[in-house]
Chain A
Amino acid sequence: MHEWALAEGIVSTALKEAERGKFTEVTRINVKIGELQQIDGDLFVSLLKEILQVEDPKLKRAEVVFENQEAILKCRVCGHEWLFSESKKGLSDEDAELIHFVPEIAHVYIRCPACKSPDFEVTKGRGVWLESIEGE
């Protein structure tokens, strides 16, 4: 379960944000999950809740809300834009899992559908992101 490492990152960043904003209690943590990293939202939230219980009292009661973000790829060579979900259909489970560990590995296994170039940008939806925290 390597997602745990990223969940720890969310929690430590939320804590840092809470300290910066001088919050005494965090009520809500808003997370975005980029599709390219292929992380299951419900699973990720349950890991986050587990970590929130032990990290800092300020965070204990925080509600976690996640939003999935579609991954969009854009070719640097021909300008073509496409969805990761289209490319994913052509990937084996093994290759998709490698992208799950390190999303940049997409450049190893995915090509631009228009010109076959590996030189593309991930313009949206790369991975997990702490959108904001709420509290008082």
Chain B
Amino acid sequence: MDPRLTIIERRLKDIKRIIAVSGGKGGVGKSLTASVMALIFSRLGYKTGLLDLDFGGPSIHTVLGLKGALPREEKGIIPPDAHGIKFMSIIHYAGDNPSPIRGIDISNAMIELLAITRWGRLDFLIIDMPPGIGDSTLDVIRLLKRAEFLIITTESRVTLDVVNKLLNLLKELKAPIIGVIENMKLTRSSFLSKEIGALDVPFLGEIDFDSGLEDAIGNVDHILGSYSKDPIC
């Protein structure tokens, strides 16, 4: 018997809401959105945790400009503080090296982190999901039954096709869906909001493509300055 599975629930019991930022497609802005959400929640006074589950391409530490923050050992692992957010990532252990893990090892690493991390009392735990409907998505649905999915997409039909599949899967497995955000919007088209509306999933809003964003990466004040012009905040 795997001793970790029964303890995960206890590790998460003092967390009010768990939000998995997902999207099926790669590069649509999941990590950016997860980071910005965590920053905003934390600045609004909510106790916030941020878990980077993208073991293949962890990005949160780059977006937030973190270096060298390490977890503490205390009857488990206490995540380090990053701009007021409790931050957990594979980079605490892999550093700048690639982590070439797959299949059962991805599951195992995720289960290990969930079993040993002591988040304490949180209002929100935000999870940055890897692209794809793979191991991590299935494991979040299996192990974090309370996780609510926030879906990020762009207006491309190529992305929408994948988002459709993800939404169908989430519905079939009865995973809670918060809604869909359209990111990197370049046109005034309402194509996507209509498509999402027709699927009976809340369309939460649009975030414009921001040509200044790249210069703000790694500097949280600049990121928040950049995003605060957006209605979604």
Q: Mark A1-23, 1 if CB is under 8 A from B, else 0.
A: 11011101110110011000000
Given the complex, which residues of A lie within 8 Å of B113, measured CB to CB?
A: 102
**A37 → chain B closest CB, angstroms:** 9
Q: Name the one of B4, B77, B105, B118 contacting A9, with C-beta atoms under 8 angstroms.
A: B4
B10 near A107 with CB under 8 A, answer no
Is B202 close to A, CB under 8 A?
A: no
Is B108 close to A, CB under 8 A?
A: yes
A104 near B99 with CB under 8 A, answer yes
The answer to whether residues A119 and B75 also contact, given A9-B7, A12-B10 and a CB cut-off of 8 A, is no
Number of A-B contacts (CB under 8 A): 95
Q: How far is the CA of A2 from the CA of B90 in the complex (A)?
A: 16
Q: Name the one of B5, B77, B99, B100 contacting A101, with C-beta atoms under 8 angstroms.
A: B77
B112 near A102 with CB under 8 A, answer yes
- Closest residue of chain B to A128, judged by CB? B3
B76 near A9 with CB under 8 A, answer no
Q: How far is the CA of A6 from the CA of B94 in the complex (A)?
A: 21
A12 near B6 with CB under 8 A, answer yes
Given the complex, which residues of B lie within 8 Å of A98, measured CB to CB?
A: 93-94
B75 near A6 with CB under 8 A, answer no
A104 near B105 with CB under 8 A, answer yes
Jot down 13 A-B pairs with beta carbons below 8 A, ordered by A.
Answer: A1-B74, A9-B3, A12-B3, A98-B94, A101-B77, A102-B90, A104-B108, A105-B94, A107-B99, A107-B100, A129-B1, A129-B3, A130-B1
- Closest residue of chain A to B108, judged by CB? A104
- Closest residue of chain B to A126, judged by CB? B108
Given the complex, which residues of A lie within 8 Å of B207, measured CB to CB?
A: none
Q: How far is the CA of A101 from the CA of B70 in the complex (A)?
A: 13
Given the complex, which residues of B lie within 8 Å of A135, measured CB to CB?
A: none
A102 near B109 with CB under 8 A, answer yes
Q: How far is the CA of A108 from the CA of B97 in the complex (A)?
A: 7
Q: Name the one of B2, B11, B75, B115 contacting A1, with C-beta atoms under 8 angstroms.
A: B75
- Closest residue of chain B to A47, judged by CB? B75
A9 near B112 with CB under 8 A, answer no
B6 near A103 with CB under 8 A, answer no
A4 near B75 with CB under 8 A, answer yes
B76 near A5 with CB under 8 A, answer yes
Q: Name the one of B7, B76, B108, B112 contacting A12, with C-beta atoms under 8 angstroms.
A: B7
- Closest residue of chain A to B75, judged by CB? A4
Q: How far is the CA of A103 from the CA of B4 in the complex (A)?
A: 13
Q: How far is the CA of A108 from the CA of B55 in the complex (A)?
A: 11
Given the complex, which residues of A lie within 8 Å of B106, measured CB to CB?
A: 104
Given the complex, which residues of A lie within 8 Å of B109, measured CB to CB?
A: 102, 104-105
Is B66 close to A, CB under 8 A?
A: no
**A125 → chain B closest CB, angstroms:** 13
Q: How far is the CA of A118 from the CA of B74 in the complex (A)?
A: 31
Q: Mark A52-79, 1 if CB is under 8 A from B, else 0.
A: 0000000000000000000000000000
CB neighbors of B among A94-136 (8 A): 98, 101-105, 107-109, 118-119, 122, 126-131
Q: Name the one of B5, B95, B102 contacting A13, with C-beta atoms under 8 angstroms.
A: B5
Q: How far is the CA of A102 from the CA of B94 in the complex (A)?
A: 10
**A92 → chain B closest CB, angstroms:** 12
- Closest residue of chain A to B105, judged by CB? A104
Given A4-B75, A9-B5, A13-B5, 9 additional A-B pairs, CB 8 A: A5-B7, A5-B77, A8-B7, A13-B1, A13-B3, A13-B7, A104-B99, A105-B109, A127-B112
